[in-house]
Structure 1
Amino acid sequence: MSTVDQTPGNTPESSAGKVSATPQTPQAALLASPPGPPGKPPGRRFKPGTIIAIIIAVILLILAGIYAYRQIAGGDDEEKWLTAVVQKADIEDAITATGSLQPKDFVDVGTQVSGQLKILHVEVGAVVKAKDLLAEIDPTVYLSKADADRAQLRNQTAQLADKQAQLQLAELQLTRQKNLMREQATTEESLQTAEAQQRSAVAQVAAIKAQMQQTESTLRGDDANLSFTKIYAPIAGTVVSQTARQGQTLNSNQQAPIIMRIADLSIMTVQAQVSEADVGKLKLGMDVYFTTLGGSTRRYYGKLRQISPTPNVVNNVVLYDALFEVPNTRQTLLPQMTAQVFFVLASAKDAIFVPLTALHAAPENGKPARAGRRGGSAQDPRGQFKDGKAMASVMDKDGKVSERAVQVGVMTRVSAQILSGLEVGEKVVVGTKSAPATAAAPQSGGPLAGNNQRGGGGPR
């Protein structure tokens, strides 16, 4: 209960609105508040914290509205754009393909005679010289045939000597008969008999000589077969494979059995498989290089030598073989290695370049290029820039974006060389933070155009 001040001069009526500092309940405070005008509800007091919260909420709403307005209005706020810095480096436009390594020169060494492989003098990996002995086949059968031929030849030689002696006798008898006939001391019949015997002796000598020639021919064949039992290296190189084992029986009657392969590893041939979409861009003599899986940092360079006209169809994909050679002086390249091949279409050293998403087509007749009139495709948009002319959106130090004409040189799927119009260190717009660039294809019109489509996706 409230205590009324009873000091002199103060009546209870004059001090009716004064209360002591004694705490009051909210209900008592409401009852103690003076009544408002008739017909209006009693006044309500707000806490100071509530008022501050309302003010902060209003300020945040105002700031959000300003930000939304600036986004819709498309102002050149530096924080709105995704940018890239103009840089300088080497750039090249290349067609990539996979391939394999093969020796340029190799020989499959086989045998020309049948028999048991008696001795193998080399193993896989051995380095051999031309005419080195590689293997031997059992020569017993071929040696016996050659010996028989020589024996027959000796017999025929003896027969020839006998026939030649008979021929000499027949010639002497014929001469005697002719002399007697001139003296009328013999008969005509005896002369004719002598002449016949002489001609018979000549024929027998000729027959023996023919038999000897036949025997000599057979002997040469048997000697050749005997020599074939020893297999020599046809070229200098490295034994890269062996398909026969020592002790194995080889049959050459149907086809020549392959014993091993010798390859010259000093020069390797790269056989790359190029898709039908890219093979038309290749030119004989163009620069090409490759890397291997084991040494991806080292490049091996060569010149394109041949494009095979016969396709290889793999899973309904048409591929063509492109061949070129590289030296292998260190013997680090081996057969069947996998190669990542790069056919260089164009290249530039120490070039100024920007991402391809920073460029868009130059205006045509004073009008921005329309989205449907691009020269390239979404996969390869490089044909879009006529005569190498393009536009770039450049951001200055104050964050303002302006369009600038540039001259484009070498282009890849992700970057482009700038011949003129930009300097190293300048910033170019590649997209917006609300719609970042996700592909390599440049847009048409640039970020300041009406459609304001960035991000490299091209027109939709």
Structure 2
Amino acid sequence: MKKYIILFLFLSFIIGGIYFYQQNKSENITYLTEIVERGNLQKNVVATGTIRALKRVEVGAQASGRIEKIWVSLGQQVKAGDLIAEIDSQNQRNALETAQARLSSYQAQLNAKNVSYDVAKSNFLRIQKLYSQKSTSLNELDNAKNSLANAEAAIKEITASIKQAEIEVKIAKTNLGYTKIHSPIDGTVISIPVSEGQTVNANQITPTIIQVADLSKLLIRLEISEGDITKIHPGMKVEFSTLSDPDHKFHSQINSVDPALTTLSDNEYKESVATTNAVYFYANSIVDNPTNQLRIGMTAQAQISVANIKNTLLIRTATIKREGSQTFVNVLKNGAIEKRQIQIGQNDEARSQILSGLAEGEKVVSSQIIEGEKIGNSPRRVRMF
């Protein structure tokens, strides 16, 4: 029995020693670090937009009547001044002929009035001479004077009628000209919403006959979230692609940023107030389209470069810690950990720019490995520092 007691005490001593050793031995810690390096940092804002025509004109009809001929087809190139459609001009020609006939009538009447005026003037001068010789009465002189005045008034009246008739002729010629519809710009026919034989009424609402757009330059309306809009300014570079060819990259720049919220309605952008939907502002980018690869209505997936910094100090953003208003990192220096306050600038998805607090080549602690600790079946664990 005594032998068992001695064995028990011996084993207890051994186990206690092992426990004491394990409790008092120093932890073997390995630090994982990131080197402060110089590099380039580019920060982008991702946006989606719709490609639109920069210059688009809805060519309307200013004359009423039946569409007699459409001279262009969809997709056709036109020049400013090209004839694109004609409206039946019979009514306008009749109106012009009527106005011209009225003008001719007034001009003939003016000739007759001039003759009457010459006769009245000659008679007045003759009677005036006779009256000075006391060879006629004052009553005869007054009658001759009144006749001359009436002849002069008749000329003025018919002259006014002629001016009015001339205006009516000009209006009739203009209305006749409206029956021939010309393109106001160089461009491409992108829509023909009417057909030959259709009757249009310009007295109610100006009907659109043709839509012409200049496709050599297009406008991209980029949706920018409220959180990013203050970062976007004119002159920033834009790289974008389309859904039809995502591997082809196009390049442009921001030309303007809308000052207010806008909504898209009936192919026109209008100022709007905020709604319960997501808030977006619009940035505008004009892009050259010399090969017509881009088409109206395409969706553009764009990246706007808001920061492009060369040769700056960089560390991984994950190594940066924050306490209140302070920003700091843990620096491994001479085997010891130093808590260092830093100032950061721009950042991208993974890295941050260091403005002060760190030097190139310093080691910033990202995590630590402690020997002997277990999580599950793992003999050691990584502890984020």
Give the conservation status (yes or no) of the 8 Å contact 1:84–1:430: no
**Percent same amino acid at aligned positions?**
26
Deviation at 1:175, TM superposition (A): 0.9
Give the conservation status (yes or no) of the 8 Å contact 2:36–2:359: no
Matched ranges for 1:75-114 at <5 A = 75-76=28-29, 90-114=40-64
Q: Which residue of 1 aligns with 2:304?
A: 343
Q: Does 1:391 align with 2:326?
A: no
Deviation at 1:86, TM superposition (A): 8.3
Q: Which residue of 2 aligns with 1:288?
A: 237
| RMSD, aligned CA | 3.7
| Distance (Å, rounded) in 2 between the aligned partners of 1:421 and 1:76 | 25
Q: What is the TM-score when the length of structure 1 is the normalising length?
A: 0.64
Question: CA 1:224–1:299 in structure 2 vs 1: closer, same or farther (change >3 Å)?
Answer: same
**1:360 counterpart (320, 340, 343):** 320
Deviation at 1:287, TM superposition (A): 0.7
Local SS of the residue matching 2:216: strand
Q: Which residue of 2 aligns with 1:328?
A: 289
Question: CA 1:145–1:170 in structure 2 vs 1: closer, same or farther (change >3 Å)?
Answer: same
Q: Does 1:230 align with 2:180?
A: yes
Local SS of the residue matching 1:109: strand
Q: Which residue of 2 aligns with 1:303?
A: 254
Deviation at 1:344, TM superposition (A): 2.5
**Cα shift readout 1:39-69 (whole Å, capped 9, x = no counterpart):** xxxxxxxxxxxxxxxxxxxxxxxxxx9xxx9
Aligned length: 342
Residue identity opposite 2:348 in structure 1: T
Q: Which residue of 1 aligns with 2:86?
A: 136
| Distance (Å, rounded) in 1 between the aligned partners of 2:368 and 2:66 | 76
| Distance (Å, rounded) in 2 between the aligned partners of 1:305 and 1:257 | 32
Q: Does 1:145 align with 2:95?
A: yes
**2:350 counterpart (386, 394, 414):** 414
Deviation at 1:350, TM superposition (A): 6.7
Question: CA 1:352–1:120 in structure 2 vs 1: closer, same or farther (change >3 Å)?
Answer: farther
| Distance (Å, rounded) in 2 between the aligned partners of 1:395 and 1:343 | 39
Say which one has the larger Rg: 1
| Distance (Å, rounded) in 2 between the aligned partners of 1:126 and 1:352 | 56
Deviation at 1:103, TM superposition (A): 2.2
Deviation at 1:395, TM superposition (A): 12
Question: CA 1:176–1:196 in structure 2 vs 1: closer, same or farther (change >3 Å)?
Answer: same
**Cα shift readout 1:279-335 (whole Å, capped 9, x = no counterpart):** 2333x3341304122244413121342323134457621211222323333332222
Matched ranges for 1:88-237 at <5 A = 90-237=40-187
Q: What is the TM-score when the length of structure 2 is the normalising length?
A: 0.76
Give the conservation status (yes or no) of the 8 Å contact 1:100–1:271: yes
| Distance (Å, rounded) in 2 between the aligned partners of 1:97 and 1:108 | 29
Q: Does 1:319 align with 2:280?
A: yes
Q: Does 1:268 align with 2:204?
A: no
Where is the strand percentage greater, Structure 1 or Structure 2?
2
Question: CA 1:350–1:402 in structure 2 vs 1: closer, same or farther (change >3 Å)?
Answer: same
| Stretches of structure 1 lacking an aligned partner (at least 5 in a row) | 1-64, 362-368, 376-383, 436-446, 455-460
Give the conservation status (yes or no) of the 8 Å contact 2:73–2:189: yes
Residue identity opposite 1:415 in structure 2: R
| Distance (Å, rounded) in 1 between the aligned partners of 2:239 and 2:299 | 10
Deviation at 1:132, TM superposition (A): 1.1
Question: CA 1:276–1:223 in structure 2 vs 1: closer, same or farther (change >3 Å)?
Answer: same
Q: Which residue of 2 aligns with 1:10?
A: none
Q: Which residue of 2 aligns with 1:33?
A: none
Question: CA 1:430–1:128 in structure 2 vs 1: closer, same or farther (change >3 Å)?
Answer: farther
Question: CA 1:289–1:111 in structure 2 vs 1: closer, same or farther (change >3 Å)?
Answer: same
Question: CA 1:330–1:175 in structure 2 vs 1: closer, same or farther (change >3 Å)?
Answer: same
